[in-house]
Amino acid sequence: MTTLVLVAHPHLADSTSQQFFKASLPATGVTWEHLDAQPAFDIAAEQDQLRQADRIIFQFPLYWYAAPASLKAWEDTVLTRTFVYGDHRYPLAGKELGIVVTTGMPAKAFQRGGVEGQTLDALLAPLAAVAHRARMTWLPTLAVHQFGYLTEAQKLALVVDYQRYLTQPQPDTLANRQAWFADRLASMVQGLTPEQRATGELIATTFDDHRSSLDELTDTLAMIKETEDD
């Protein structure tokens, strides 16, 4: 799978969260682009990049309840009507659109009665409408609230969540999570020294064995939960 991450941030070097995300990028399969760094967009190149991606991520801090202006400038320039839905060709159809958004306010601010009075989902309506028009699949948003106050343990978990958000097949089921971890485990074992590799392979095999029995248990549990009344 190929993922394109488009980052909108006017002061990227000063952003600890964006630097964190950049350092957390998976080693392969991801193209990362900083929109504000471009004096003008190369429309053909940008459109080509979109065509080649399976998953497209808009990544930005929430400024006045939307992305910074650079993302809108990119949309207004690169997403020409002819490209997105002209002549009933829909080159983005079926691709996934995900949002990685950081906010200065806590999660609870984004609800009716909260300080912001609106859900993040409601605020992202214009981007969801773009996905709808382009016949893309909208992914559940990855929101990171008050990054600066995360503990080290929370940041470590965020590295994995972020990598999964960029590269794990959707939907985010246990089965897909397990397959993603098994993949990562396999490639980590490849990178081990010969003396470590035997242990690594043993761990990977054990993981795979447990995965099968866990799958069965999970399916049964999910079925029970879904048929139960609240």
151 Cβ partners below 8 Å, 6+ apart?
Answer: none
Q: Write out the residues near its own copies by the rule CB under 8 A.
A: 10, 63-70, 72-73, 75-76, 79, 116-118, 122-123, 125-130, 132-133
For the chain, list the strands marked E by DSSP: 3-7, 30-34, 55-61, 96-103, 137-138, 142-145
With respect to its own copies, which residue has the nearer C-beta, 128 or 182?
Answer: 128
CA dist 98 and 82 (Å) reads 23
What is the DSSP annotation of 11-64? TGGG-HHHHHHHHT--SSSEEEEEGGG-SS--HHHHHHHHHH-SEEEEEEE-BT
Which among 154, 124, 114 has a CA at the least distance from the CA of 59?
Answer: 124
